[in-house]
Amino acid sequence: MTKIVSRIYRMVAVSDLRPHPDNPHKGELDVIRESVRENGFYGVVLAQANRMRIIAGEHRWHSVREEGLTELPAVLLDVTDEQAKRIMLADNRSAELGGYDDQVLANLLQGLPDLSGTGWSDDDLTDLLDDLGGVEIVTDEPADPRRPAPPRRPLPNRRPRAAAGRARCPPLRSTTSGTRNTTTPTGRTPPRRPARRRAPPRT
């Protein structure tokens, strides 16, 4: 049954810790020191409680000491010498067996303004993009307000259609004498009717 290893978490003097004599792993101290300077020390060191030997995080301990820090956070594990060696080997090996999703990594690196403190360089990013086929990931950019808008496509000229079943009538012509218009829809002037004579008044 899986169990939680007994531990104590506390700040420990850098001088109280010492590297494990059997640790075969060699890390890149320059990369770790750059990360500590850029990001601060954010990790912990695992150590065997009864011997104060570092099980995991030895290179972080070296970097902290070179940067002049006097204390660091540590997790002191209550384990035997054999357990300490197994944990140390498993920690180093699991990190080596891990891999990357290159596409996700390229997107992540390109999304940063610079690569300082990441352990990656511009040359690393260039090689990574070459391995991906030389395709550069381009993010969406807002439209430039100074760029003129594309010309609109002109609409075709359409004449309004007459309603079905209705005949078109010519416009009514107005007279110049100021009288009301007496033209018919066909454009012809109708014949005038004779005026009625009024009967003389009765006496």
Separation between Cα atoms, residue 41 and residue 14, nearest integer Å? 13
Counting the structural domains of the chain, the total is 2
Token match 């004779």: residue?
Answer: 194
CB contact at 8 A, 19 and 61: yes
Is 42 inside any structural domain? yes
pLDDT for res 79: 97
pLDDT value of residue 101: 94
109 shares its domain with 61: no
Query: Quick one: DSSP state of residue 111?
Result: T
The two tokens of residue 199 are 């009967």
81, 108: one domain: no
Count of CB atoms within 10 A of residue 64's CB? 22
- Condensed to tens digits (0 to 9), the pLDDT of residues 41-60 reads 999 999 999 999 999 999 99
pLDDT for res 184: 53
CATH (domain of 36):
3.90.1530.10
167 lies in some domain = no
Flag the least confident range among 62-76, 77-91, 116-130, 180-194.
180-194
Q: CB 193: neighbour CB atoms within 10 A? A: 6
In a domain, 93, yes or no: yes
Structural domain range at position 55: 7-97
**Listed residues 97, 122, 141: the one ending a domain:** 97
The conformation of residue 82, written as its DSSP 8-state character, comes to: H
Q: Is the pLDDT of residue 16 over 70?
A: yes
pLDDT at site 186 = 54
Q: Estimate to the nearest angstrom the gap between the alpha carbon of 44 and the chain centroid.
A: 31
d(CA 10, CA 77) in angstroms, rounded, equals 11
Q: Return d(Cα 171, Cα 187) in angstroms, integer.
A: 8
Strands (E), 58-198: 71-77
pLDDT band at 1 (very low <50, low <70, confident <90, very high): confident
Cα gap 45→55, rounded to integer Å: 8
In the structure, what pLDDT confidence band is assigned to residue 84 with cuts at 50, 70 and 90? very high
> Which residues lie below 8 Å from residue 183, measured CB to CB, with a gap of 6+?
172, 173, 189
Let me know whether 13 and 68 are in one domain: yes
Residues 17 and 82 in one domain: yes
Whether 155 maps to a domain, the answer reads no
Q: Please give the pLDDT value at position 103.
A: 95
Give me the pLDDT at residue 122, please: 94
Which residue would you say has higher pLDDT here, 27 or 111? 111
- Exposed, middle or buried: residue 56 (CB in 10 Å: 0-12, 13-18, 19+)? buried
| Residue 121 banded pLDDT, cuts 50, 70, 90 | very high
Same domain (yes/no): 42, 12: yes
Same domain, 46 and 72: yes
77 and 55 fall within a common domain? yes
pLDDT at 177: 47
110 and 55 share one domain:
no
Burial (CB < 10 A; 0-12, 13-18, 19+), residue 57, is buried
Q: Is 21 helix (H, G, I), strand (E, B) or coil?
A: coil
Ranking 90-94, 119-123, 159-163, 188-192 by mean pLDDT, the lowest is 159-163
Residue 41 located in a structural domain: yes
Residue 121 and residue 74 in one domain? no
Q: Are residues 65 and 31 in the same domain?
A: yes
User: What pTM value is reported for the model?
Assistant: 0.60
My answer on whether 31 and 110 are in the same domain is no
Q: Say if 15 falls within a structural domain.
A: yes
Q: For residue 63, tell me if it sits in a domain.
A: yes
